[in-house]
Amino acid sequence: MDAFGMGLVAAMGALATVAGASEDIESDIGSQSNPNSQVQLAAQVGNPHRIYNKAIAGEPPSNALWCTTAAIMAYVLIEGYHMPLLFAVAVGASLAALFNGVMATSAYLGRNASQARFNQWIYLDIIRYTTPSIMAHVWITSFCITLISTIQVYVLTPHHPFPIPVIALIWGLTVGAIGSSVGDIHYGGEREFQWRLFGQGLNTMLSGQIVRKAEAGLRNSIDNAWFCAKFGGPCTGMGFGLTVFLDNWRTTVFDPVTHAGAAIAMGLFFVIVMNLYNFYCELSARRKYGPYPGYKGDIAA
Amino acid sequence: MTVGGGAAGAPQALDPKKIRIYGLVGSVIGIYLAWILNSVTGTNIFSFVGALAALFGVVLGANAVRRVCAYGIGTGVPSIGMLALGMGVVASLFGLNLAEQLGVGVLGVIIALVYSVVFGYVIGLIANRVMGFNIPIMEEGLFDLSGAGTMAILGWSFAISGSLAYADIVKDVFNTGFLAIIFICGGLAILHPFNANLGPDEKQDRTLVNGVMVGGMATIATGICALMTLGFAAGMLEIVVGFAVWYYFYVWYFRLAKRDASAVVGTGLLPPSAL
């Protein structure tokens, strides 16, 4: 273990935290991933809305696309044209943001046009002022992920044997999967259904009955970014940052070749501790907010 | 739960059989045309033709996705696109390698195509008979998807390596990691069209135009990779061609979205019926 390597691992953890947070907020602004099904259903059950409906595959494939796009650009500029590393990564992230803009607008146009019979209009002002926010968040995500990949390949010893685009693809899939399972629950559960009782789950009857009106006027996706930046985004960042940091920490402290057993044992230790902590969190939440009144017969199920 | 999938047997203006013929034959001819042009002129400047050939495969794949997924696979659209490209990677490696082993390197594309469609059909059979999907066109759909994925991988691989030799493709596409962008961007070109247009009023022409548009973006991406593997001129030409394809089809797509939407407004409140 050397101090430089540990510093790099810490920097990667910090970058991953930022990437996770921006990834989640990006998907929330566009209503991607699992909350998207409710946005899609809303118009079909008679609730047309002014919320961005961006369906670009699931979050893992779409984030893999942004990160890989940024990574190929950075890789070509670094290897082929000997550009400075940070400049190359920034150019790559800009290309990824442009790709994202095209995909996001085409999904908004297509999904809303395919709901013509439910009277779901296409609002051009939503495209105009929401898309840049989405692109900006993608820029941050792909910049951080590509920088993590380049650190792994060029700086951190031992150098990672995989090429940068493949590492970025894998990190992109990971950040998308974590964002989809951590932060989106916050958006889908708390923001789209603000008046839901604890423990109710999502009743089939309520499918598509999302909140469409804001504190003033109609709700739009920028409001959702404001809401999700307070809890869902940071939570996702923490989840992804811890994943990157703890995983690299154990292989930096314990050499994977000479102390493989200790590195594996440390990984197992983390898994067990996190499971116990999750169990505690769930018990604590149930003790504080539960049970659902329906169980006591107060509300007809 | 199916989310807003179209009705079974989605309405279509273009016959799927015709699209299959045009897609497979067009992409094979395109890849060979690119190879011949490159060999005859002794340059790699015509590698962009390989990327254009991949667009035929993309149209076939996008049409297959909309046909299969119209049976109620809503959230499975991304998965089936990834499946197509996954089968494509296996088949293209197998075809190119086998052709090299047999000493008929150029026929690798045909071998890969034949292997991939058989492979896809068998997976379709397993999905329907063993796993019980009960989708009448599953075998046909995976036949098309596997062929489309293989042609997309081969076309864009040619656009990056400028050669059909197994060793060149492994060196330029696999070892550099550029396969990652072909896999994910090509996959999006096949799955994004139906995913982006999901809903009861989805139209075939709008979906396919979207597919070519994303294919244009993938061509831009492979052009960027070609800047390193083929040199500045060939790469830049590919980027310009990709941009032209993207721009033309994006404008066309926007026009079709305006045609199909119930209303396109600059700004405004909800429709009067919903307030």
**Does residue A83 sit within a domain?**
yes
SS (H, E, C) chain A: CCHHHHHHHHHHHHHHHHHHHHHHHHHHHCCCCHHHHHHHHHHHCCCCCCCCCCCCCCHHHHHHHHHHHHHHHHHHHHHHHCCCHHHHHHHHHHHHHHHHHHHHHHHHHHHHHCCHHHCCCEEHHHHHHHHHHHHHHHHHHHHHHHHHHHHHHHHCCCCCCCCHHHHHHHHHHHHHHHHHHCHHHHHHHHHCCCCCCCCCCCCHHHCCCCCCECCCCECCHHHHHHHHCCCHHHHHHHHHHHHHHHHHHHHHHCCCCCCHHHHHHHHHHHHHHHHHHHHHHHHHHHHHHCCCHHHHCCCCC
Mean pLDDT computed over A128-136: 94
**Does residue A80 sit within a domain?**
yes
Q: How confident is the model at residue B7 (pLDDT cuts 50, 70, 90)?
A: very low
A87 vs A94: CA distance, rounded Å:
11
A294 vs A6: CA distance, rounded Å:
51
Contact A117 B74 (CB under 8 A): no
Q: Are residues A91 and A230 in the same domain?
A: yes
- 10 Å CB burial of residue B12 (0-12, 13-18, 19+) is middle
Interface of B with A in 123-182 (CB under 8 A): 175-181
**Contacts of residue B3 in chain A, CB cutoff 8 Å?**
37, 40-41
Contact B195 A125 (CB under 8 A): no
B160 vs B238: CA distance, rounded Å:
10
Q: Are residues A270 and A167 in the same domain?
A: no
**Contacts of residue B267 in chain A, CB cutoff 8 Å?**
123-125
Q: Are residues A66 and A189 in the same domain?
A: yes
Last residue of a domain, one of A237, A263, A279: A237
**Does residue A249 sit within a domain?**
no
Q: Are residues A265 and A231 in the same domain?
A: no
Beta bridge partners of A213: A218
Q: How confident is the model at residue A296 (pLDDT cuts 50, 70, 90)?
A: low
- DSSP at A57: S
**Does residue B5 sit within a domain?**
no
Please state the domain count of chain A: 2
Contact A162 B217 (CB under 8 A): no
| B251 interfaces chain A, CB cutoff of 8 Å | no
Q: What confidence tens digit (pLDDT) does each residue in A98-131 have?
A: 999 999 999 999 999 999 999 999 999 999 999 9
Give the position of tokens 């139209």: B203
Mean pLDDT computed over A7-24: 94
Q: What confidence tens digit (pLDDT) does each residue in A175-190 have?
A: 999 998 888 888 888 8
Last residue of a domain, one of A207, A237, A267: A237
Distance from CA of A157 to the nearest CA of B (A): 20
Cis peptide before A48 (omega within 30 of 0): no
Q: Are residues A230 and A291 in the same domain?
A: no
| B199 interfaces chain A, CB cutoff of 8 Å | yes
Q: Which residue of A has its CA nearest to B249?
A: A106
B182 vs B163: CA distance, rounded Å:
16
A206 vs A273: CA distance, rounded Å:
37
Asked whether residue B4 carries a pLDDT value surpassing 60, the answer given is: no
Q: Are residues A17 and A70 in the same domain?
A: yes
Domain extent at residue A204: 3-237
Mean pLDDT computed over A147-164: 90
A185 vs A35: CA distance, rounded Å:
8
Please state the domain count of chain B: 1
**Does residue A248 sit within a domain?**
no
Q: Taking the CB of residue A294, how many other CB atoms lie within 10 A of it? A: 14
- DSSP at A79: I
**Does residue A242 sit within a domain?**
no
Mean pLDDT of chain A: 89
A240 vs A144: CA distance, rounded Å:
12
Contact A40 B181 (CB under 8 A): no
**Does residue A247 sit within a domain?**
no
Q: How confident is the model at residue A297 (pLDDT cuts 50, 70, 90)?
A: low
CB of A126 within 8 A of CB of B264? no
What's the length of chain A?
Answer: 301
Q: Are residues A205 and A271 in the same domain?
A: no
Q: Taking the CB of residue A133, how many other CB atoms lie within 10 A of it? A: 17
| φ and ψ at residue B73, rounded to 5 degrees | -90, 100
Give me the pLDDT at residue B6, please. 45
**Does residue A41 sit within a domain?**
yes
Q: What confidence tens digit (pLDDT) does each residue in B78-118 have?
A: 888 899 999 999 999 999 999 999 988 789 999 999 999 99
Beta bridge partners of B265: A123
CA-based end-to-end distance of chain A: 58
Q: What confidence tens digit (pLDDT) does each residue in A270-289 have?
A: 999 999 999 999 899 888 88
Helices (H) and strands (E) in chain A, counts: 12, 1
Distance from CA of B113 to the nearest CA of A (A): 25
Q: Which residue of A has its CA nearest to B202?
A: A114
Q: Which long-range contacts (CB under 8 A, 24 or more apart) does B74-77 make?
A: B74/A37, B74/B1, B74/B2, B74/B3, B74/B4, B74/B5, B74/B198, B75/A37, B75/A58, B75/B3, B77/A57, B77/B191, B77/B194, B77/B195, B77/B198
Q: Are residues A225 and A263 in the same domain?
A: no
Domain extent at residue B195: 16-259
Highest mean pLDDT among A26-35, A219-228, B99-108, B218-227: B218-227
**Does residue B6 sit within a domain?**
no
Q: Are residues A227 and A260 in the same domain?
A: no
Q: What confidence tens digit (pLDDT) does each residue in B215-273 have?
A: 999 999 999 999 999 999 999 999 999 999 999 999 999 999 999 999 999 988 888 87
**Does residue B274 sit within a domain?**
no
Beta bridge partners of A122: B264
Q: Are residues A228 and A263 in the same domain?
A: no
Q: Which of B78, B203, B261 sits opposite A112 (nearest CB)?
A: B261
**Mutant choice from A41, A59, A121, A170 vs B, greatest count of B C-beta within 10 A:** A121
Distance from CA of B118 to the nearest CA of A (A): 27
Contact B221 A103 (CB under 8 A): no
Q: Which of B221, B227, B267 sits opposite A125 (nearest CB)?
A: B267
Q: How confident is the model at residue A11 (pLDDT cuts 50, 70, 90)?
A: very high
Distance from CA of B55 to the nearest CA of A (A): 17
Q: Are residues A265 and A139 in the same domain?
A: no
B14 vs B3: CA distance, rounded Å:
25
Q: Shortest CA distance to A133 belongs to which of A253, A221, A204?
A: A221
Mean pLDDT of chain B: 90
**Does residue A298 sit within a domain?**
yes
Distance from CA of A64 to the nearest CA of B (A): 7
Q: Are residues A210 and A292 in the same domain?
A: no
B196 vs B206: CA distance, rounded Å:
10
Q: Taking the CB of residue A215, how many other CB atoms lie within 10 A of it? A: 6
* Residue A18: both structure tokens together: 């930022």
Give me the pLDDT at residue A294, please. 63
Q: What is the pTM of this model?
A: 0.92
Q: Shortest CA distance to A188 belongs to which of A23, A28, A24, A26?
A: A28
B176 vs A80: CA distance, rounded Å:
12
**The one-letter amino acid at B171:** K
